[in-house]
Structure 1
Amino acid sequence: MSAALFDLSDRIALITGSSQGIGYTLAKGLAGAGATIILNARNSEKLEAAAERLRAEGATVHTNAFDVTDQKAVTAGIEAIETSVGPIDILVNNAGIQRRMPLEDFPAQTWDELMRTNLDSVFFVGQAVARRMIPRESGKIINICSVQSELGRPSIAPYTASKGAVKMLTKGMAIDWGKHNIQVNGLGPGYFKTELTEALVKDEAFTAWLVGRTPSGRWGNVEELIGAAVFLASPASSFVNGHVLYVDGGVTATL
């Protein structure tokens, strides 16, 4: 009985920004729980390479390359997935970017790029998928938030603003779509070792600060996000809605 609560067999999951990093790891984790996976990114070659790695491990994987910041491309991509693969049961809005510089020097065009990627894409893809989930009266949407949905750090104010907005959009989605048996929740990673954080991991001063700041006393390993993602994607979370689950080693719990 307990295992069945986390079983994703016969479910189709779309994960945006999943050719590498956290998105790829979450796709791998959902596949391990039985889901059919659809990888998404803009680079078709990287996408196919990621798919082949997952297939070699026994996963059922499809790919669909479209730009999540382009609403027309999103609409066409979701239609193609539902026509060729089947109804999307699980959506993980993972695509995102980071840009670091002092706020007073932050160019408007970089602000627009960051917001379009981190926030607009969640609205575009979430809306396109929800429009199809609503008539089916079923669905799971997981928006990737961050500890920066709650906390600030020097030189990343626009990123913090975007992730704070994703947290509140998650709550809004849950409020509007909960009546259709759609659960919308956020997954908030802390500091994890990925391709994008490699420079920070190698920065001895930053790592020393982070280890001292984190109750668990270390960087996170991306595989430690899988359990939370499977929970939020599965029947086990059928009455969890509008919540952000932080997987951060305790960073948001301490000053």
Structure 2
Amino acid sequence: MNDLIHSHQQGAVLTLSINRPDKLNALTNAMYNRLADLLYAADEDPAITAVIITGGEHCFTSGNDLRDFLESPPTHLNSPAFRFMDAVIQLDKPLIAAVCGAAIGIGTTLLLHCDQVLVTHHAKLRMPFVNLGLCPEFGASLLLPRLLGHARAARLLLWGDGLDGTQAVDLGLANKAFEDGEQCLAAAQKMAQRLLTLPRESVLHTKRLLKQPLLEALKDTLRRENLLFMERLKSVEAKVVLEGMLQRSAEKG
């Protein structure tokens, strides 16, 4: 699994790269567990000050691997995808996302928990949970309306509308958009390196303070979303849509 999730530490900066380009960086249970383990370890490691998460220069992630998801769906609150969410929420180190290309489903909801989000202009962000017969995850039902207001959040969550990188910056979902993936990744590294020049304990305390006001509400929302998500996966609506998608994918070869 190490070949699908690359972990590279340069100085006090840890970069986690999703590396499954042939499947548009779709995430399996094993990949979620690997990411969670690395984030939990990073949080405990005094040699790490900042974490970057990326999918490389062309794609962030297309979300869950459909076949893996249907064959081994989450069945409890400590399932791999939920462990990954917990690891992100618990992380005290600043987290920077470099988003180049598609960021679908959890690829977008993850960004709500990052301290800085850098995108390419051609990045495609979308949360098609309702379209799949499911419901929002990763605290999106709490965080997105607070960030964008109800009406804009509803367009993204109820209607499943998408955004490009430029629109994401305009709405405040991302900090800055770049022409290509190389520039985006370089900017993320530069931003992380800048943190190393600042007093480390002050950085950590400030991140905790930024998270604290919403932390309990976020954990409660996450639990309710995840319970409903597991329930929705068993619904006829979701099974028809997801199994149909899997069949069409198989027919295409």
Per the TM superposition, whether the score is higher than 0.5 is: no
Taking structure 2 as the reference length, what is the TM-score of the superposition? 0.31
Taking structure 1 as the reference length, what is the TM-score of the superposition? 0.31
